[in-house]
């Protein structure tokens, strides 16, 4: 299948000093929802803005739908929809006026009323933008992106700062767009969002892709699919080697006294773990076991948590 | 992972697309801008109400009083009553407001501008005037009061004189003021309407959002300028109408000439606003820059008083400022009915300012 968004060896250096993007390659296929996952400052926004033709890369090539920003700027603008990380739309215009204004820029837009309906903004159509809640504003931002009837949708952190219900609403909107055959590229620093929404992901850190694949593939790459986390009473958390030698343990990580084991077969590891704790006559303070997540993948790859807050 | 490419919603979406013409973006941008301005009470106030209040206030403060009475103090003393009686029986008594107060209060009143003159009657046939030679009204008051005293005391005029007063509409302060306020208002709203709006939109990342669509950038700037021109018509009409109705001002020039000069002024200052806003990322930076540009213009270009009062050496510099030709052209057209052709020099200066500002602004302009 042909690539809808493609970039090769993308680099961006600000003021000749700060390297925001350092040799990034991407190939996003038609109909896919592709996520750039990474912590703040990883270069996600710079990357997506270069792909959107809003920033000039220092070097590297970008092509969208087989065309480049240099050769077909206007044609490309007609075919893509964009939601920037934070745009404060005019507060004194109504929702409908805002969507109609954006529609007027496109040669063949969708009717504003239809888009408002899809985004459940009909009730708010005649309210001023200044009176909307965070979730409604974000839906309006997506409405301005969808009204041009785009083939590719770029969303920069579409759900940051939204409540769980608004986030789920936006996910539904994105999925609906995908069902019409649209391609989506989004950035996020939410693990669950990336895991549930994206067909494929690239984990970005320090301006580079450090892993790429479907969420399941990335998790499988951890080795173990399960995580056993425990902590012992007092300061004693044993030596990493002790835990490493337990049956089925793939890797060990100590996070401020919380030991987390990446394991393939928890039913073999946990009895052995309990044995060791018993022999050391230590006290188990906390024990959980769960499915491995993208967070674990990120921590494994970078040694840091995705959101350090 | 692939998604079924055929979906009923694709067709329904395509069936209901619209088709936009070449100017649809431009027209929507103008209408959005006008709606936004109308819904912004501050804009309505500064653009329309403020100049009216200003002209009303100044028009009242500097209105031509039937007789320009001078206010004087007679320092209390044994001969004060005598001096007061002499003044009150003089022919000038209606234009002199005199009162007897003690020495200290008289001196303080003179210093604060409450009194134009202090009269001290030293003896029945000797008075002393305390006045401020730097204040024209003080100098005038001394002459007036001196005449009143001397004539009441028996001086005879050697020459018989008569005086005819002239204060027709057209030569009053308010007539001078309103065209100046009009010019100033065109400058203010041109600079703020373009400059402030653009920096605000840049700061809100709205400019970036707009250029992420197929919107034509030229259309966007034209729409901003177009909305300025529409507002200009309202500003000029309102202030002139106010002058005519409230102060019985006489407008001698044709309305079309006035509107044309107004349009050139609005575009020139729109260009200057665009230039000051071409790169600023923050409202604070832009406000500072704009005040820096506008402050000398308020003072030097004859908004509130004639720039002829500045030293001759400054005159060429003053005449080259963009607001001077606008004020002059508005005054000549409104008050004297001067033809457009006779103002070509002034219009040329305006066009040069506007043209150069636009050229530089478009070269430096940043959308993000």
CATH at residue A287: 3.30.70.100
Give pLDDT tens digits for B177-230. Answer: 899 999 999 999 899 888 888 999 999 999 999 999 999 999 999 999 999 999
pLDDT of residue A106: 95
Residue A299 lies in a domain: no
Across the interface, which of B7, B13, B204 has its CB nearest the CB of A88? B204
Nearest CB to B36; choose among A86, A90, A111:
A90
CB contact under 8 A, B205 and A87: yes
Q: State residue B7's pLDDT score.
A: 40
Note whether B25 contacts A199, CB cutoff 8 Å: no
- The reply to whether A36 and A118 lie within a common domain is yes
**Where are the CATH 3.40.1710.10 domain residues in chain B?**
70-152
Indicate yes or no: CB of B17 within 8 angstroms of CB of A149. Answer: yes
Residue where the block lists tokens 């010019």: B183
| Structural domain containing residue A265 | 223-291
Q: Give whole-number Cα distances, A274 to A278, B18, B247, in Å.
A: 6, 68, 97
Residues of B in contact with A32 (CB under 8 A): 1, 3
Q: What is the pTM of this model?
A: 0.80
Contacting residues of B for A198, CB less than 8 Å apart: none
The residue from A167, A192, A216 where one domain ends is A216
Chain-chain contact of B368 with A54 (C-beta, under 8 angstroms)? yes
Q: Is residue A107 part of a domain?
A: yes
Give A41 to chain B, closest Cα distance, Å: 19
CATH number at residue A174: 3.40.50.300
pLDDT for B232: 92
CA of B45, closest CA in chain A: separation in Å?
16
Residues of B in contact with A172 (CB under 8 A): none
Do A281 and A133 lie in one domain? The reply is no
Contact A181 B28 (CB under 8 A): no
Residues A170 and A242 in one domain: no
A199: closest CA of chain B, how far (Å):
6
Structure tokens at A131: 């009176």
SS3 B165: coil
Nearest 10 degrees: Cα torsion A276, A279, A280, A284: 60
Picking from A216, A246, A263, the residue at the C-terminal end of a domain is A216
Question: How far apart, in whole angstroms, are the C-alpha atoms of residue A238 and residue A244?
Answer: 11
> Would you state the pLDDT for residue B16?
66
Cβ of B20 within 8 Å of Cβ of A107? The answer is yes
Q: According to the model, what pLDDT value does residue A237 have?
A: 60
**Domain endpoint, select from A183, A216, A249:** A216
CA of B106 to nearest chain A CA: how many angstroms apart?
Answer: 57
Cβ contact, residue pair A92, B40, below 8 Å:
yes
Residue A300 within a domain:
no
**Residues, chain B:** 368
d(CA B26, CA B221) in angstroms, rounded, equals 9
* Closest chain B residue to A54, measured at CA: B212
Tell me which residues of chain A have a C-beta less than 8 Å from any C-beta of chain B.
1, 31-32, 52-54, 74, 77-78, 82, 84, 86-90, 92-93, 97, 100-111, 114, 128, 144, 148-149, 176, 178-181, 199-200, 214
Residues A16 and A145 grouped into a single domain: yes
Please tell me whether residues A241 and A198 are part of one structural domain: no
Low-confidence stretches of chain B (pLDDT beneath 50): 1-15
The residue of chain B nearest to residue A83, with distances taken between CA atoms, is: B209
Count up the domains in chain A and report the number. Answer: 2
Of the options 3.30.450.20, 3.40.50.10800, 1.10.1380.10, 3.40.1710.10, the CATH number for the domain spanning B70-152 = 3.40.1710.10
Interface test with A, best of B17, B39, B212, B223 (most A CBs within 10 A): B212
Q: For residue B213, give how far its alpha carbon lies from the nearest alpha carbon of chain A (Å).
A: 5
Q: Are residues A171 and A231 in the same domain?
A: no
Q: Is residue A309 part of a domain?
A: no
Measured distance CA(A296)–CA(A215) in Å, rounded: 12
Domain identity same for A96 and A126: yes
Residue from B1, B27, B40, B213 whose CB has the most chain A CBs within 10 Å, to mutate:
B213
Residues of chain A with pLDDT below 70 are 1, 223-224, 235-238, 306-309
Cβ neighbours of B13 in A, within 8 Å: 110, 114, 149, 180
- In this structure, are strands A226-232 and A80-83 parallel, antiparallel, or unpaired? unpaired
The string of DSSP letters for chain A reads: --EEEEEEEEEEEETTTEEEEEEEEEEEETT-EEEEE--TTSSHHHHHHHHTTSS--SEEEEEETTB-TTT-HHHHHHHEEEE-S-----TTSBHHHHHHHHHTTSSSPPPHHHHHHHTT-GGGTTSBGGG--HHHHHHHHHHHHHTT--SEEEEESTTTT--HHHHHHHHHHHHHHHHTT-EEEEEES-HHHHHHH-SEEEEEETTEEEEEE-HHHHHHTTS-SEEEEEEESSS----HHHHHTSTTEEEEEEETTEEEEEES-HHHHHHHHHHHHHHTT--EEEEEEEE--HHHHHHHHHSS-S---
ipTM of the complex model: 0.88
Residue A305 domain-assigned? no
The pLDDT of residue A224: 65
Do both A62 and A202 map to the same domain? yes
Q: Which residues of B touch A87 (CB under 8 A)?
A: 204-206, 208-209
Contact list in B for residue A181 (CB cut-off 8 A) is 3, 5, 7, 10
């Amino acid at each position: 299948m042909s690539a809808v968004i493609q970039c090769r060896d993308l680099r961006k250096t600000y003021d000749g000093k700060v390297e925001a993007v350092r040799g990034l390659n991407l190939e996003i296929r038609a109909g896919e929802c592709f996520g750039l996952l990474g912590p703040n400052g990883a270069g996600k926004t710079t990357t997506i803005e270069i792909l959107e033709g809003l920033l000039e890369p220092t070097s590297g090539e970008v092509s969208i739908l087989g065309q480049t920003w240099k050769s077909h700027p206007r044609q490309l603008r007609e075919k893509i929809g964009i939601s920037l990380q934070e745009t404060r739309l005019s507060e004194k215009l109504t929702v409908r006026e805002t969507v109609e204004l954006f529609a007027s820029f496109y040669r063949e837009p969708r009717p504003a009323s239809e888009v408002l309906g899809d985004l459940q903004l009909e009730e708010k159509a005649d309210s001023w933008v200044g009176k909307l809640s965070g979730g409604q504003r974000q839906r309006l931002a997506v409405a301005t992106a969808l009204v041009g009837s785009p083939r590719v949708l770029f969303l920069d952190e579409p759900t940051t700062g939204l409540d769980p219900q608004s986030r789920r609403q936006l996910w539904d909107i994105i999925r609906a767009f995908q069902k019409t055959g649209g391609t989506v590229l989004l950035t996020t620093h939410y693990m669950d969002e990336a895991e549930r929404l994206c067909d494929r992901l690239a984990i970005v850190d320090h301006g580079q892709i450090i892993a790429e694949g479907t969420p399941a593939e990335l998790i499988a790459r951890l080795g173990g699919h399960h995580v056993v986390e425990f902590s012992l009473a007092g300061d004693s958390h044993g030596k990493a080697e002790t835990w490493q030698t337990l049956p089925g343990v793939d890797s060990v990580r100590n996070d401020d006294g919380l030991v987390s084991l990446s394991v393939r077969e928890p039913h073999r590891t946990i009895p052995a773990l309990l044995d060791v704790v018993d022999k050391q006559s230590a006290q188990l303070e906390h024990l959980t076991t769960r499915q491995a997540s993208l967070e674990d993948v990120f921590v494994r790859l970078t040694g840091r948590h995705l959101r350090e807050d | 992972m692939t998604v079924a490419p055929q979906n009923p919603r694709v067709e329904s979406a395509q069936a209901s697309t619209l088709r936009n013409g070449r100017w649809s973006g431009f027209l929507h941008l103008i209408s959005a801008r006008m709606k936004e301005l109308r819904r912004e009470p501050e804009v309505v106030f500064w653009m329309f109400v403020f100049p009216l209040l200003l002209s009303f206030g100044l028009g009242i403060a500097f209105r031509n009083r039937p007789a320009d009475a001078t206010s004087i103090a007679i320092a209390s003393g044994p001969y004060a009553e005598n001096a007061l009686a002499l003044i009150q029986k003089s022919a000038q008594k209606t234009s002199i407001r005199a009162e007897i107060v003690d020495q200290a209060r008289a001196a303080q009143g003179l210093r604060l501008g409450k009194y134009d003159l202090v009269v001290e009657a030293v003896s029945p046939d000797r008075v002393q005037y305390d006045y401020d030679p730097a204040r024209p009204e003080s100098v005038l008051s001394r002459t007036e009061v001196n005449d009143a005293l001397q004539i009441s005391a028996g001086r005879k005029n050697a020459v018989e004189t008569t005086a005819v007063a002239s204060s027709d509409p057209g030569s009053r302060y308010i007539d001078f003021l309103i065209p100046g306020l009009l010019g100033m208002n065109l400058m203010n709203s041109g600079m703020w309407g373009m400059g402030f709006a653009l920096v605000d939109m840049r700061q809100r990342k709205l400019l970036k959002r707009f250029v992420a669509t197929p919107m034509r950038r030229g259309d966007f700037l034209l729409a901003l300028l177009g909305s300025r021109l529409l507002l200009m018509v309202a500003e000029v009409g309102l202030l002139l109408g106010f002058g005519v109705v409230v102060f019985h001002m006489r407008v001698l020039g044709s309305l079309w000439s006035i509107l044309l000069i107004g349009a050139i002024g609005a575009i020139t200052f729109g260009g200057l606003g665009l230039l000051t806003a071409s790169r600023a990322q923050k409202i604070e930076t832009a406000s500072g820059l704009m005040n820096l540009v506008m402050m000398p213009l308020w003072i030097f270009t004859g908004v509130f008083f004639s720039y002829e009062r500045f030293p001759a050496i400054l005159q060429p510099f003053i005449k080259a400022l963009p607001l001077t030709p606008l004020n002059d052209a508005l005054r000549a057209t409104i008050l004297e009915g001067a033809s457009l052709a006779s103002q070509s020099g002034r219009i040329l200066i305006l066009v040069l300012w506007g043209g150069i500002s636009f050229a530089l602004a478009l070269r430096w302009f940043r959308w993000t």
